Amino acid sequence: MSTLQQASGHSIDVERLRQQFPILSRTVRADQRLVYLDSGATSQKPLAVLDAEREYYLTSNAAVHRGAHQLAEEATEAYEGSRARIARFVGARAEQLVFTRNATESINLLAYAFSNTTDKARLGSPRPEGSDRLVLRPGDEILVTEMEHHANLVPWQEVCDKTGATLRWIGLTHDGRLDLSDLGTLVNERTRVVSFVHQSNLVGTINPVHEITQAARSVGAWVFLDACQSIPHMPVDVSTLGVDAVSWSGHKMLGPTGIGCLWATEELLFAMPPFISGGSMIETVTMERSTYADPPKRFEAGVPMVAQAVGLAAACDMLDDLGMDNVAAHDGDLTAYSLERMAELPAVRVVGPTSTHMRGSAISFVVDGVHPHDVGQVLDSRGIAVRVGHHCAWPACRALGVPATTRISPYVYNDRADIDAFIDALASVRDVFGVR
Amino acid sequence: MQDLYQEIILDHYRNPQGRGLREPFEAQVHHVNPTCGDEIDLRLHLSTIDGVTVVDDVSYEGQGCSISQASASVLYDSVVGQPLDEALASLDRFQEMLQSKGEISGDEETMGDAVAFAGVAKYPARVKCALLPWMAWKDAVVRVTEGENR
C-alpha cells in the first residue's frame, strides 16, 4: 500500500499500478530513479495497452472496411468495437466519434469545416445540407481565450485569414483564470464560434464550461471544447456539456500516439464537408464528382489507425477500472500536496491558481533568478522529468508576465514520494546557479 | 550536469560581456527559439581597417536560459575586434563542436571560452540554445555583406 492511500484513503494502489509501466522502473542520467512528471505532454503507456496493440497485430491485422476475408472482418470489428468503447468512456454514441491523428487534427477538422464551407458557398459548389451555419463572412466573430494551446488558436487565426471573420478572445486574470467580466460583450450577435479549453495545459485552470456555453448558446454560436487535459484526469460526459464538439488526444490518457478523437453532435457532423478526402470516405465516385459517406466515415479517409484505436480502448478499460472519480481524487491529492510543498520554497512562485479550486494537476512555476529551462535541466539531472518553455501557450505566458515556465503534471502512476523527490531537487536549483 | 553548466558558462551568464544595444550598426536582427521562447535582438557594426573588414561591435539584448545568454556573451568576446573572416571561422568551429554530439571537444587555443560549450553538445535539446546568438550574428553578417553587393 502506498503512502498516498494511507494519506488520503482513496483507492488507487500506485505501487501495483506502476507494475503496468515498466518504463517507470528505468533509471536516467547516471542511475537516478526516473520520476516522470510530464504526463501533461504525454502519459506513459501501460502493458495492457501495448499488449492490446500487439495482440491485434498478431491475430487480426488487416485493412478495415474492405476485404472479403475473416481477418478483415475481425479487424473491422476491432476498430469499430474500439470506437464504441472509447465513445462509452465519454458518454457518447459510437456514430458521434471521429478518429483523427491527434487533438490538433480534430480542431483543424472543425476549423477547416468553416473555411471550406465558406469557399464552397462563395463558388456555389455542392455542400452538405445544414451547412449554412458554417459559412463565415467579414464581421462574423470567433471567440477563443488567451489561455488556449496553440492548437486551439492558430487554426482559428487561419480561418479568420481565409474568411474575413474577426478573432476575439477572453483575457486572463493575474492568477491564470479567465476574466469573464466582459463575457456579455465578447459574446454577441456577431459571434459564430466559441472554442475554448476545458483545462489549461499551462496553468491547470479548469474553466466554467456551463457559463461560457450558456452565453454562446444564447447568441446561437457553435461551441467547441478542447478537452485534452481534462478527459485524462476527470470524469467527462460529453453528452451533458451542452457543447457541439469536443476534441482530445489518446496519448495523454495512457493510450498510444497517433490517435486523437473528435466527438460532435449529429447536427454538426452531418453539416461538415470532408476535411481529408480520398478512399474510404466516399459514397459514390465518378470522374466528374463524388458524394460522401455519412459521419464518422466521411472524416476518416484512407486506412485508419486500427492498432491505436485498439490500444486506446484498452486505456479506457484501465481508466474505468481505476474509476475516473478515483483518478480525479488521486490527481487532486497530488495537486494539493505539490502546491503545499512548493509553498515551502520562498524562491518558487506558482504561475496560475495556487488553490485546488477548479484546477487540475498541471502546475507551472518559476524560480527567482533561474531561467525555467535551466530549472528543468537541474531537475533532469536528478531524474525528474518536467516540461519547460512556453508549453505551446505563448500568448498565455505573455499575459501572465513570464517568458516561459517549468511545469510538473503528475498522473495516476505518481505518488507523494515522486513529489518529495521533485521538491528535494527543486530546493537545490538556486545553489547550482549560485543565486542567493 | 557539470559538463553542461561549466563555471565559465555561469560566469558569462552572471556577468554578460557586451550586453546592451549600441550605435552605430549596419544590421539589426531578431531571432527566437520557437520551442522555448528564447529571444535575442542583435546589432552588428563592421568597419574596414587597412582594407580588412573587421567586426567592430556586436551589441545585443535578449532573454532566455543561461546557455543562450552566456553564449551571446561568449560570441561578443570571440568575434569583436576580429577580422570578419576569422570571426566566421570561429562560428564554424563553434557550430561544428556543438553539432558533433560530443565527439569534438574543441581547442581552447583557438576557441577561448567558447570551448566551455563542448558539454552542451551532449544535450541535443540545448544545442539550439547555444547556437541562437551565433545564428543571429551570422544572419546579421549576411544582411550587411549581401546588402553591399546589391
Give one word for A188, left, alpha or beta, with left for phi > 0 and alpha for psi -120 to 50: beta
Name every chain B residue with its beta carbon within 8 A of the beta carbon of A371.
64-66, 69
CB atoms < 10 A from the CB of A389, how many? 24
Find, in chain A, the residue whose alpha carbon is nearest to that of B4.
A377
Q: Which of A228, A261, A316, A392 is catalytic?
A: A392
How high is the pLDDT of residue B19? 97
pLDDT tens for B94-140 read 999 999 988 888 888 889 999 999 999 989 889 999 999 999 999 99
The one-character DSSP state at A66 is -
How many angstroms separate the CA atoms of B10 and A330, rounded? 40
C-alpha torsion angle, residues B137, B143, B145, B148 (rounded to 10):
-150
What does the domain layout of chain A look like in residue ranges?
3-45+323-432, 53-320
Which DSSP string do the residues of A88-131 spell out, in sequence order?
A: HHTT--GGGEEEESSHHHHHHHHHHHHHHHHHHHHHT----TTG
pLDDT band at A10 (very low <50, low <70, confident <90, very high): low
Answer whether residue A2 shows pLDDT above 80: no
pLDDT band at A66 (very low <50, low <70, confident <90, very high): confident
Cα–Cα separations (whole angstroms), residue A410 to A261, A405, B88, B107: 23, 16, 46, 43
Answer whether residue B84 shows pLDDT above 50: yes
Residue A3 · residue A415 · CB < 8 Å: yes
CB contact under 8 A, A373 and B38: yes
pLDDT tens for A279-326 read 999 999 999 999 999 999 999 999 999 999 999 999 999 999 999 999
Q: How would you classify the pairing of strands A222-226 and A245-249? A: parallel
Q: Which H or E run contains A426? A: helix A416-432
pLDDT tens for B8-38 read 999 999 999 999 999 999 999 999 998 888 9
The one-character DSSP state at B19 is B
Which is higher by pLDDT, A53 or A68?
Answer: A53
Domain of B97?
7-149
Beta bridge partners of A69: none
pLDDT tens for A408-428 read 999 999 999 999 999 999 999
Answer whether residue A169 shows pLDDT above 70: yes
CB contact under 8 A, A390 and B37: yes
Among the partner-chain residues B63, B67, B123, the one whose CB lies closest to the CB of A403 is B63
Residue B12 · residue B62 · CB < 8 Å: no
CB pairs A-B closer than 8 Å: 48
Handedness of CA A247, A251, A254, A260 (dihedral sign): positive
Find, in chain B, the residue whose alpha carbon is nearest to that of A383.
B1
How many angstroms separate the CA atoms of A169 and A195, rounded? 10
pLDDT band at B4 (very low <50, low <70, confident <90, very high): confident
What percent of chain A has a predicted confidence (pLDDT) above 90? 95
How many angstroms separate the CA atoms of A108 and A330, rounded? 33
User: Is B54 inside any structural domain?
Assistant: yes
What distance, in Å, lies between the first and last C-alpha atoms of chain B? 47
CB contact under 8 A, A394 and B129: no
What percent of chain A has a predicted confidence (pLDDT) above 70? 97
Name every chain A residue with its beta carbon within 8 A of the beta carbon of B126.
373, 377
What's the CATH number where B41 sits? 3.90.1010.10
Residues A133-158 have a mean pLDDT of: 98
Answer whether residue A433 shows pLDDT above 90: no
Instruction: Note the CATH number of domain A53-320.
Output: 3.40.640.10
Q: Cell numbers at residue B26, please?
A: 549596419
User: Is B38 inside any structural domain?
Assistant: yes
pLDDT tens for B35-65 read 888 999 999 999 999 999 999 999 999 999 9
Cα–Cα separations (whole angstroms), residue A199 to A143, A153, B35, B70, B91: 17, 15, 22, 36, 44
The one-character DSSP state at A135 is -
User: Is B76 inside any structural domain?
Assistant: yes
Report the domain count for chain B: 1
pLDDT band at A8 (very low <50, low <70, confident <90, very high): very low
How many angstroms separate the CA atoms of A108 and A223, rounded? 15
Which residues, 6+ apart, have CB-to-CB distance to B73 below 8 Å? B12, B13, B15, B16, B17, B18, B19
Instruction: Look at residue A369 and give its three-state secondary structure.
Output: coil
How high is the pLDDT of residue B109? 87
Among A38, A150, A373, the residue to mutate for chain B (most B Cβ within 10 A): A373
How many angstroms separate the CA atoms of B15 and B70, rounded? 9
The one-character DSSP state at A297 is G
How high is the pLDDT of residue A434? 82
How high is the pLDDT of residue A392? 95
Name every chain A residue with its beta carbon within 8 A of the beta carbon of B64.
371, 373, 403
Residue A383 · residue A421 · CB < 8 Å: yes
Instruction: Note the CATH number of domain A3-45+323-432.
Output: 3.90.1150.10
Say yes or no: ipTM exceeds 0.90: no
How many angstroms separate the CA atoms of B81 and A368, rounded? 35
Residue A323 in contact with partner chain B when CB distance is under 8 A:
no
pTM for the whole structure = 0.94
How high is the pLDDT of residue A5? 39
Angle separating helix axes A154-163 and A103-123, nearest 10 degrees? 10
Cα–Cα separations (whole angstroms), residue A201 to A204, A228, A251, A354, A392: 6, 8, 14, 15, 9
Show which residues on chain B lie within 8 Å of chain A, measured between beta carbons. Answer: 1, 4-5, 10, 13-14, 35-39, 63-67, 69, 123, 126, 129
Answer whether residue B149 shows pLDDT above 70: no
pLDDT tens for A13-34 read 999 999 999 999 999 998 999 9
- Indicate the average pLDDT of chain A: 95
Q: Chain A: give the shortest CA distance to residue B51, in Å.
A: 43
How many angstroms separate the CA atoms of A121 and B1, rounded? 59
Residue A235 in contact with partner chain B when CB distance is under 8 A:
no
User: Of chain A residues 241-280, which have a CB less than 8 A from chain B?
Assistant: none
Among the partner-chain residues B36, B67, B126, the one whose CB lies closest to the CB of A404 is B36
Q: Chain B: give the shortest CA distance to residue A60, in Å.
A: 40
Residue A102 · residue A312 · CB < 8 Å: no
Angle separating helix axes A47-59 and A306-322, nearest 10 degrees? 140
pLDDT tens for A118-129 read 999 999 999 999
A392 in catalytic set: yes
User: Is B81 inside any structural domain?
Assistant: yes
CB contact under 8 A, A374 and B66: yes
A39 by Cβ neighbours in 10 Å (0-12 / 13-18 / 19+) ranks as buried
